[in-house]
A and B are shown apart, each in its own frame.
Chain A
């Protein structure tokens, strides 16, 4: 990397650093002090928007100054235009509120007046609104509130786009390996075009460079040192990526080396996977909501059995979570020993007063009394067959609360398995991933009737792979359960809540397919209950699962308790 220009570069960097310290930094420090970030407010704003708009709304993070489109509300990562944190938070609330109000009217044919002229329409409903806007405007010295908020970009009804909360990956190393990957959060963008991969091969030769060139150009403009090594360099490119104007995206089959995560609204083409050699596996149908019919034999599921095990991982996970496992076992035991009182039994712990009185009455009346005078307490539990289905896709490689989602899920399954093993012998654990409809993997970790002790270490060797095609995995799980004998049958699904596959299995199509698979299962007596750690799943889950059939839990620890609790409920309910 050394070159004869090194001293010039160093001089330049030194001047740049000085400039930053003297000029840029004080301004940035001030802005940072008053800045209100979106993340802590996100859930509140989502709920506010949902209430006001009266229909499902998705929040997209973007720097574009657009208020909303037909179904999305656009919010920046943070506001720092106002002089205090509170006022910047107020900016978020006002923008959300106005966006939701505009969304409510989306779809009406008449051309819409600028936002500020429409305030009077809403004043009757929200008398407090105008005052709050006026107060906010006054506090924004030097900034125009209306340009900060942006105007609605309502599209005409025949133009469709799909929301794709995408993980746009910056694959800088074609060789897969298991090193930790870097993830930075990018800004969302509306109106992104999806361009097709010109050929199957070689992917890395053309398109990633095409995308990468843009970042490089920006990088030069920002005067950053140009590095050419092939490692994970996303961190170094962060500044350049921040100003990336993403207008086109392309899919790649490669494992990500770094993740640049951004919410995109893609104006899209329908990408089908071309015909190839006949795929292997068990064919399953897929629901096409536009055609209102199943596509027969559309997805091919290959069931594989996990063989690699990591006993070291299992031992350390057991050590790490020993207290939690014990605690849950105690809880389950207390639930499992909840007794049912059975009256008029020939033996039991208590006298059944009703039976005694009845016997007395019969005796007095000269009849032979019934001798079943006792109340018996005994366990009554349902016979449950359950299959825990775990999302193994690349998106589980992301981080929530300083923990990788995949690790959290593995730990959860480990603890759940430890607890359930004592109470419910008959359960199976499987992971799923996909790479187009022709390659849906169903990775069996513990089969029914297999020993938990012998299979638990396999969790340790799981790695993230592929995409999230939930439908076929669910259908296969249902197929497996249908052959089991339990009185109650249930699939527990652990996912981040976003159906997505390489061949356009996403957005409304994916959601409807998952919903259809769940409905079909329910008709055959197989329930589905979904879990997610990510609070954002609240934006997706209600569209796939019925109320009461999913849990969005705030933390990894809560996930384990929630999963065990669901089992207990199922087993004990009468």
Chain B
């Protein structure tokens, strides 16, 4: 899996932490707002460590069965089919559980034995106990207080992980990310980042979720394809963020003045 290089720009010491956690066989919890590059970082690290990556996007219906596996009835025979967690443990892959707090409580509990010194997975359906190989690593993401009605992760679960918080990258890094990702000119990238930094000031008013680097990358892609910058920025930044007409007008003012 290490063949393809994945573009990722370091914003702090996350690679160092990831690598050492992997070596020390510690599970890792990544926190941070949406679209700030958590998934991209994990993909990048899996590639650079030469491990395969198994990703599960958790939602409120994700259950232990979904993660561990289930018996399937095939022509009167029952066949055991591994779930993503079981597969990752067997293969020694990097297991990435995105938004783990959204999953049902039983799903969260089954990963507990994987996260402490035992590093094992108990499959009650097959009566198997799998020992995780040294290459196996569990990475989860968690957005504390990010959404309304967001579920909190229990302390008993959180304390099994080492953590790292992602913020939005600082100005210079974010510009380089936009250039590296889309090939846009530095001047245009700088303007997009300048807009984002201003709009992020509105986040505390609970009018909008913050402008993610992902949105900026989208805007940069549109600009790189030749769309007029104002139009591209309005489409990729203002429109996805808000339906509030006043906020929309104010953001458009900033875009118009900047481009």
Contact = CB atoms under 8 A, between A and B. Distances in A.
A319 interface: no
B198 interface: yes
9 contacts: A47-B250, A51-B198, A52-B198, A128-B256, A358-B71, A360-B73, A361-B78, A542-B205, A548-B145
Tell me if A's interface is mostly helix, strand, loop or mixed: helix
Contact of B78 (A55, A126, A357): A357
Interface string B179-208: 000000000000000100011011111110
Contact of A574 (B151, B202, B205, B207): B151
Contacts of B78: 357, 360-361, 364
Contacts, number: 83
Nearest to A48: B250
Interface in A53-83: 53-55
B253 A569 contact: no
B254 interface: yes
Given A44-B250, A361-B78, A354 B148 contact: no
Closest 10 CB pairs of A and B: A47-B250, A43-B246, A51-B198, A126-B257, A48-B250, A128-B257, A357-B71, A44-B246, A547-B206, A44-B249
Interface residues of A, number: 33
A47 B207 CA distance: 10
Contacts of A52: 198, 254
B247 A547 contact: no
Given A47-B207, A364-B78, A126 B199 contact: no
A127 B190 CA distance: 13
A550 interface: yes
A339 B256 CA distance: 48
Contacts of B198: 51-52, 54
Nearest to B60: A574
B70 interface: yes
A97 B257 contact: yes
B193 to A, nearest CB: 11
Given A44-B246, A542-B206, A51 B199 contact: yes
Most chain B beta-carbon contacts within 10 A, residue among A47, A51, A360:
A47
A276 to B, nearest CB: 41
Given A44-B246, A354-B65, A128 B70 contact: no
B149 interface: yes
A132 interface: yes
A50 interface: yes
Given A569-B148, A573-B149, 6 more contacts: A44-B250, A50-B202, A52-B254, A54-B201, A126-B258, A548-B148
Interface string A124-143: 01111100100000000000
B6 to A, nearest CB: 33
A289 B201 CA distance: 25
